[in-house]
Amino acid sequence: MISDSQKDKLIQLACESRHNAYAPYSNYAVGAAILMENGRMYTGVNIENSSYGLTNCAERTAVFKAVSEGERKILAVAVSTENAGSPCGACRQVLVEFAGDVPVYLVDGDGNGRETTLYQLLPDHFGPEHLGS
Average confidence (pLDDT) over 35-53: 97
Domain count, the chain: 1
Q: Is the pLDDT of residue 38 over 60?
A: yes
Average pLDDT in the chain: 96
66, HSE (Cβ side, Cα atoms, 13 Å): 31
Phi, psi of 47 (to 5 degrees): -130, 105
Q: How far apart (Å, rounded) are the C-alpha atoms in residues 2 and 85? A: 22
Containing domain of residue 69, as a range?
A: 4-127
- Tell me: the pLDDT tens digits for 91-124? 999 999 999 999 999 999 899 999 999 999 999 9
Evaluate whether residue 133 is within a structural domain: no
> Who has greater pLDDT, 125 or 3?
3
At residue 99, the pLDDT reads: 95
Would the CA dihedral through 120, 122, 114, 111 be positive or negative?
positive
Catalytic positions are: 59
Please give the C-alpha separations between residue 90 and each of 7, 95, 120, 121, in angstroms, as whole numbers.
24, 9, 15, 12
Average confidence (pLDDT) over 52-70: 97
Amino acid (one-letter) located at 52: Y
The CATH number that applies at residue 121 is: 3.40.140.10
Q: Please count the other Cβ atoms lying within 10 Å of the Cβ belonging to residue 1.
A: 6
At residue 92, the pLDDT reads: 97
Evaluate whether residue 132 is within a structural domain: no
pLDDT-above-90 percentage for the chain? 91
Evaluate whether residue 44 is within a structural domain: yes
At residue 133, the pLDDT reads: 57
Q: How far apart (Å, rounded) are the C-alpha atoms in residues 28 and 133? A: 42
- Return the SS3 of 56: strand
Average confidence (pLDDT) over 8-14: 98
